[in-house]
Amino acid sequence: MLESLIEMVKSFIISFGDLGIFIGNFLSSSIIPIPSEAVLFAQGAVGLELVKITVLGAIGSTLGSIVCYYIGRYGRNFLEKYGKYFFVSSEKLKFSEKWFKRWGSYTILVSRIIPVIPFKIFSIASGILKMNFKTYLALTFIGSFPRCFLLAYFGFLSSTNIYLTILAIAILFAIPALIDRINRKK
């Protein structure tokens, strides 16, 4: 399934070029259930310039996340009732609220930088918790750069060396598990 999604994203990018980079990242960062990892990976695999993917991806991702922020800000009751249809469960909201209470606004930065953390839920939670919008926007934009670069770079590597890509992805999935383990010991 992921492979077919990546192929679909590739054909979209080839058809729309730079606008496709922006739109793909905008949509994957908004409430639409498209994994940003697959979008960025495919953009890199197509062989587009990494700098272009990083910049346009960060802009698209940031603007798309504003949708989630405002959904959280004004739609908590709706999300609690219908969120499961958008892959937003009340458990995920409670989890993200705990992170915010513990780590504050750094939660947004970290959720953007580490590629396997589902940042949409943190964008929604920052709206629910009425995080300062300018702070949210700045941290989202800053954190989107490394995320976009890393995932696009792994996509690029996959077109040349699949084993290196598998290793890199395994390491990325290990990072959140390691962070969780460290936090549980505290």
pLDDT value at position 110?
Answer: 84
Centre a 10 Å sphere on the Cβ of residue 21 and count the other Cβ atoms it contains. Answer: 28
Flag residues of the chain having pLDDT under 70.
Answer: 1-3, 5-6, 9-10, 85-87, 115-116, 162, 164-166, 168-186
The model's pLDDT over 24-75, given as tens digits with 9 standing for 90+, comes to 889 888 877 777 777 887 788 777 788 999 999 999 999 999 998 998 898 8
User: In this structure, are residues 79 and 97 in contact, taking their beta carbons and an 8 Å threshold?
Assistant: no
Contacts within 8 Å (CB) and 24+ apart, 76-79: 76/128, 79/124
Distance CA 94, CA 76 (A): 12
User: Which pTM value belongs to this model?
Assistant: 0.77
**What is the structure's pLDDT at 143?**
92
